[in-house]
Chain A
Amino acid sequence: MDLRLPSKVLEHIFSFVDSNEDRNSVSLVCKSWFETERLTRKRVFVRNCYAVTPAAVARRFPEMRSLTLKGKPHFADYNLVPDGWGGYAWPWIEAMAEKSPALEELRLKRMVVTDECLEKIAASFKEFKALVLTSCEGFSTDGLAAIAVACRNLRELELRECIVEDLGGDWLSYFPETLTSLVSLDFSCLDSEVKLSDLELLVSRSPNLKSLKLNRDVSLDALGSLLRLAPQLVELGTGSFSDKLDQEAVSKLSQAFTELKELKSLSGLWDVLPEYIPLLYSVCPGLTSLNLSYATVQMPDLVELLSRCSNLQKLWVMDLIEDKGLEAVASSCKELRELRVFPSGADVDETNVALTEQGLVSVSEACPNLESVLYFCAQFTNEALVTIARNRPNLKCVRLCVMEPFAPDHKTQQPLDEGFKAIVEGCKGLQRLSVSGLLTDKAFEYIGTHGKKLRMLSIAFAGDSDLMLHHLLSGCESLNKLEIRDCPFGDTALLENAAKLETMRSLWMSSCGVSFGACKLLSQKMPKLNVEVIDEHPLKTRPDSSPVEKIYIYRTLAGPRLDMPEFVWTIHKNPEIGVSNLAIE
């Protein structure tokens, strides 16, 4: 008896399956489920653009309407990946233009996007609706103009922290008068001035505009007039908040803010002068997300502002908030889920010493929904970590950056092993962890033993030996992304646990002790991995025992990539190189 459900029924059922993880699981059940699922998947996420070819993706998902791609490894954010490494969007855009011309949305992160790419998008996808570029580079404002002019149904254009060659603000004027569909516009990372009149016209003909993030160049005055045109905004990123305004202008601006009845998210606030903070008071009670990470506001003013934000769920702020400010957050922002505290200074010497571990402890005590933490701090203690773990076992993401490498517990001078042990032991659902401070191999033994749900782990200046890596690779069952820099392990643990690497998305290791020979061996034994040796200063002859600068290993179905620069070596470049005598039984 045929127990298979007809595909129409399956389709209907699958239409309720949204998340990609679930869809991936669905597709593994059996062939017919695989087929039905693939024919109905609209949103495709490719988290490593080199893991699979564009053609394969287009072939598998003919109904794809939204594509999300990630390119460079995460450590590229910190200048650890040399320019020219890769992550080019062009092959994807070219392939999709041909095979998936109905594509509507493209979201790219850490990729190289050229003007040519943007022009191709504009020319090829007739129903194009959304372009979201995060931490991308390689294009200019000319490319934006191409998108503006051609995409008649554009809904979203967001440039998040991109590096754009800014040739002027004209691009904005290319949006045709017929474009009324805009929902979200973010040009906060651009430098030059856009014409206010163009912006006002655009905003006034966009009744669906919910999110507007201006660049620094937009003055306070201009902000006022824009807010009056778009009181329906849900997300606002202001421009510069420091012009001197006369009393009348101030009260008009204040009035404009009070009209923002729907506002949930506020960001920008560059250069904000303390005397303008009260302008924001009227929107505070409604805010769920507040990004003050570029606002050089001192603690007392921050306290005034934050004590009014009783519904805040996400807070990004600089260490200017100090422990005292965080205490205020703890008592006022009971709904807090995510806290990020960034350093206001460039290095350890400039770290605000009035922000200590105590600030985070206070928030962990008082905010029951706190799940995600990013915290830059001069120093920390085991005691604080233990307390935080006890207070907040529901933490999912803990990224602690003690600014000074190798800094021990500043009270006991001990390594922070025990503190992180408490975190991984207590926070059973922990998915992401970044460690710092003085750590021995023990810390990693704890992480390997307890961090069963850990997916992403970032490590720098820690550990003593290969044991650290061994603990992680053999213990962390859910490990997906591992990035390590400046740690003293060699080849052994890596080679011992080679099989693990196929279960992970990627592994980054830089300034560690892995040898060239080990890389070769790994490449030979694990053909489903790309083992990239990144070395900007390679020795003329590379003996097997020579340590390599940087290694990026990722699983892939696409085989060796075709766009490798000079300084990236994989075994595919020199297949005739024999196996070294590093064979591990």
Chain B
Amino acid sequence: MSLEEELQSNVSVASSSPTKNTAGGGGLKVHNYFGLSDSSSVESSTLSGRVEDDKATISLKATELTLGLPGSQSTELDLLSPAKLNEKPFFPLLPSKDEICSSSSHKNIVASGNKRGFSDTMYTEKNWMFPESVAAQSVVKKEVPQNIPKGQLSTTNNSSSPPAAKAQIVGWPPVRSYRKNTLATTCKNSDEVDGKPGSAALFVKVSMDGAPYLRKVDLRSYTNYGELSSALEKMFTTFTLGHCGSNGAPGKDMLNETKLKDLLNGKDYVLTYEDKDGDWMLVGDVPWEMFIDVCKKLKIMKGCDAIGLAAAPRAIEKSKMRA
């Protein structure tokens, strides 16, 4: 018996091989990871094709902020429930182990198609860009993938619960922590205690609900909130257009004239930021200088999503504590 034949007959004996989904008998059927059998290259190309088509939908959904556990249904209800609102940080949250194993986890595979087979429930131990906020963020070790039912990929459609946050895989990409940390401080070196002269840029990420990718802005290139909001409005106009259209809001021309702040006041979008403590606060309540000192990330949220975010009194309280 050749070694490979031996191997085939042994596969049916080994109880924990993930390829035990072989239909009937001792033949070794080559499955790709997702349990799809044979002509795997054809399958995967079809798969990827489908993924490509739905990529836009998926990635839009993927950046949607939800307060729910990753993989769970993102519902407005969750956001509004009082219990969750006081949790810090808003995302990502620490899912319990059981929930990781539940069917919600395999939806992550579904939604991200070919690409995230193993990446459900993974979090980095260090948040790449903002290592200081690691303490505030919960960390979950990756759950062993064997708990995930395979072959589910073809069944569910893509509109169901995408990954709530851009969940990161532990140790991927394979870049040394030293490098990650060093680069993080390269971008935000003026944040250091010993304070360099303010000539260096202060980049923060800006994300927006429904926008397919993040942008970065240099907070030091603005001197007040007005400048920041005009800049953001210019940056994200293309996205707001889409949304406003669907809400039956004023047409394109009017949109270009209104500043984002007015848009914000119009309750469509709210500009929020994550501060050094990992709390999400509304932008605009503290003095500008203090704001750029504490702001780690910006997010343009849907107004309804941001209900209960730290309103003015709390922000001012915090700033008093800092002073």
> CB within 8 Å of B: which residues of A?
75, 77-80, 135, 161, 163, 189, 193, 217, 240, 242-244, 270-271, 293-294, 296, 342-344, 346-350, 376, 401, 403-408, 412-415, 434, 438, 440-441, 458, 460-461, 463-467, 470, 474, 485-486, 488-493, 496, 511, 513-515, 517-518, 536-537, 544-547, 549, 582, 584
Contact = CB atoms under 8 A, between A and B. Distances in A.
Contact of A438 (B97, B114, B179): B114
Contact of A486 (B145, B199, B200): B145
A490 B117 contact: no
Interface in B201-216: 213-214
26 contacts: A189-B178, A243-B199, A270-B186, A271-B186, A296-B187, A347-B166, A347-B168, A348-B173, A405-B118, A434-B174, A440-B30, A440-B40, A465-B30, A466-B7, A466-B17, A470-B7, A486-B145, A490-B17, A490-B19, A493-B7, A496-B7, A496-B10, A513-B18, A546-B16, A549-B144, A582-B13
A582 B31 contact: no
A346 B144 contact: no
Interface in B166-218: 166, 168-180, 182-183, 186-187, 189, 194, 196-197, 199-200, 213-214
B17 A491 contact: yes
B44 interface: yes
B41 A414 contact: yes
B169 to A, nearest CB: 7
Contacts of B180: 346
Top 8 A-B pairs, shortest CB-CB distance: A490-B17, A346-B128, A78-B171, A515-B16, A413-B45, A161-B178, A513-B18, A486-B118
B142 interface: yes
Given A135-B178, A496-B6, A464 B32 contact: yes
Of B15, B177, B178, which is in contact with the most chain A CB atoms at under 10 Å from its CB?
Answer: B15
Given A270-B186, A547-B16, A75 B173 contact: no
Contacts of B283: none
Interface of B: 3-4, 6-7, 10-11, 13-19, 28, 30-33, 40-41, 44-45, 48-49, 97, 114-119, 124-126, 128-129, 141-142, 144-146, 166, 168-180, 182-183, 186-187, 189, 194, 196-197, 199-200, 213-214
Given A466-B19, A490-B14, A401 B173 contact: yes
B9 to A, nearest CB: 10
B128 A347 contact: yes
A531 B173 CA distance: 27
Contacts of A347: 128, 166, 168, 173
Contacts of B176: 77-78, 135, 161
B30 A350 contact: no
Contact of B166 (A135, A349, A491): A349
Contacts of A342: 175, 179
Contacts of A518: 14, 16
A461 B173 contact: no
Contacts of B142: 511
The dominant DSSP class at the A interface is loop
Nearest to B127: A346
Given A75-B171, A294-B186, A408 B44 contact: yes
B118 A243 contact: no
Question: For B3, B48, B144, which residue has the most chain A Cβ atoms within 10 angstroms?
Answer: B144
Contacts of B141: 536-537, 549
A293 B179 CA distance: 9
Nearest to B143: A537
A492 B10 contact: yes
B45 A464 contact: no
Nearest to A293: B179
A161 B169 CA distance: 23
Contacts of A492: 7, 10-11, 14, 17
Contacts of A412: 45
A465 B3 contact: no
B199 A242 contact: yes
A189 B179 CA distance: 10
A511 B11 contact: no
A549 B145 CA distance: 10
Q: In this complex, which of B31, B44, B141, B166 has the most chain A Cβ atoms within 10 angstroms of its Cβ?
A: B44
B172 A413 contact: no
Contacts of B45: 408, 412-414
Given A161-B176, A547-B146, A466 B116 contact: no
Contacts of A408: 44-45, 48, 114
Nearest to A81: B171
A472 B46 CA distance: 28
Contacts of B16: 490-491, 513-515, 517-518, 545-547
